[in-house]
Amino acid sequence: MITRRSAAQRLDISIEMAVKHGIPARMPEEELDALESDPPAWLAQSRANRTGRKPVWVTLRCDVCGRTETERPKKWWPQFTYVSCEEHGIDELPDPAVGMVRAEYDGVGSRFVGIVDAPVPSG
């Protein structure tokens, strides 16, 4: 059995879309395989409408320990230089390059901190 969330990730659709189109809370792997191999019209249309600009799901991977989590990306997320678990210290990541300043973004996924190294503003 596979959860609705896992099915949505494999189908590359949102959980809301999975609910709307009747994907049950749990379903057999065989049923999901059948959906993937012979997609219904709504799934085929969803795939055809993809522009590739914004992914439906992203895999966050800690640059310290390698722990992963798949999440829906948020609009406020910048392009992270590093991602680390909340329990790791900033000193466990490489130092920013010369001329770069570091910013931390809490609340990335359920347990991550996003790190952005950007050029020091001039002036």
State pLDDT tens for residues 84-116: 999 999 899 999 999 999 999 999 999 999 999
| Token pair recorded at residue 68 | 């992963």
Residue numbers of the domain that contains 10: 2-48
Residue 123: pLDDT over 70: no
Do 81 and 37 have their domain in common?
Answer: no
Q: What is the pLDDT of residue 113?
A: 95
State pLDDT tens for residues 23-39: 999 999 999 999 989 99
The pTM of the full predicted model, rounded to 2 decimals, is 0.74
Do 44 and 74 have their domain in common?
Answer: no
Does residue 65 sit within a domain?
yes
Does residue 53 sit within a domain?
no
Q: What is the pLDDT of residue 75?
A: 87
Average of per-residue pLDDT across 71-89 = 92
